[in-house]
Structure 1
Amino acid sequence: MQGLHLTADLYQCRCDAGWLTDAARLGQWCVQAVQAVGLEPVNQLFHAFPATADGPGGVTATVLLAESHVCLHTWPEKRSVTLDVYVCNFGGDHSAKARGLMFALINRFQPEWTEQRSLDRGAEE
């Protein structure tokens, strides 16, 4: 199965701190971002972690897509986020949509710097 897997590690995010701690707010925005690029959300799970001695708890946000998934993990105490966008290209090439979604996600968090990777998955048929 051919697909595109994009990852990004975001550092020193300058966004409002609520984007790193508010699971409902972040989750709602993620679903809207998925729809805005033309991907189809089919389910979602947004979880806020409790605060620790290091600071407020982070969020894990997952949106299952008809085309595969998007997943985010936030670390508010480090002002960091990891992003994972994977799309299967069965029945059509969704690569441009995946790249558009990753662009929107990165812009939401306004990192000072990022480390991004791209992996083409599956053998060509």
Structure 2
Amino acid sequence: MDGLHLTADLHDCACDLPWLLDAERLGAWCVQAVRDAGLQPVAHLFHTFPGTAEGPGGVTATVLLAESHLCLHTWPERRGVTADVYVCNFGADHSAKARALMDAVVARFAPAHSSLRSVLRGG
């Protein structure tokens, strides 16, 4: 059960608005970012939520990894994103790959402010 769980709350993102609205665009980027980090995507689900009186609907992009998962949730009306990267370290330590993936996520959205957390799981 040894693993690394990284989370990020990204605020006032300076990225182009379609990154917060377009599930297919964001999802395709997520799958490529996973591969670029050296992790293995095995399935994915990308969903755009309907808009509300507050603004356009956000996106949830989830990529199931052989090592665990990546999940992003966007709030375009707030120009915000929450991100979750979890890797199990069964058979090998994937921590550096998880950190590279989270670095890519933060760079993609270019937040003015962020809160990043790291939790060692298992034990």
TM-score (norm 2): 0.99
How far apart are residue 68 of structure 1 and its match? 0.2
Partner Cα distance (2:59, 2:80) in 1: 11
The question of 1:104 aligning with 2:91 is answered: no
Q: Which residue of 2 aligns with 1:28?
A: 28
2:15 alignment partner, SS class: coil
Tell me which amino acid in the other structure corresponds to 1:67.
Answer: E
* SS of aligned partner of 1:112: strand
Aligned twin of 1:113: 113
Equivalent in the alignment of 1:18? 18
Q: Structure 1, residues 9-33: CA drift from partner, whole Å, max 9, x if none?
A: 0000000000000000000000000
The one-letter amino acid of 1:26's match is L
Tell me the amino acid that sits aligned with residue 13 of structure 1.
Answer: C
CA distance in 2 between counterparts of 1:30 and 1:75 reads 17
How many residue pairs end up in the alignment?
Answer: 123
* TM-score calculated relative to the size of structure 1: 0.98
Structure 1: gaps spanning 5 or more residues: none
Residue 51 (structure 1) shift = 1.1
- The residue matched to 1:27 in structure 2 has which SS? helix
Give secondary structure in 1 for the equivalent of 2:63.
strand
Q: 5+ unaligned residues in a row in structure 2: which ranges? A: none
The reply on whether 1:58 has 2:74 as its aligned counterpart is: no
User: Are 1:45 and 2:51 counterparts?
Assistant: no
Residue identity over aligned pairs, in percent, reads 70
Cα displacement string for residues 47-81 of structure 1 (whole angstroms, at most 9, x for unaligned residues): 00011111110000000000000000000000000
After TM superposition, which residue ranges in structure 1, 4 or more long, deviate above 4 angstroms?
none
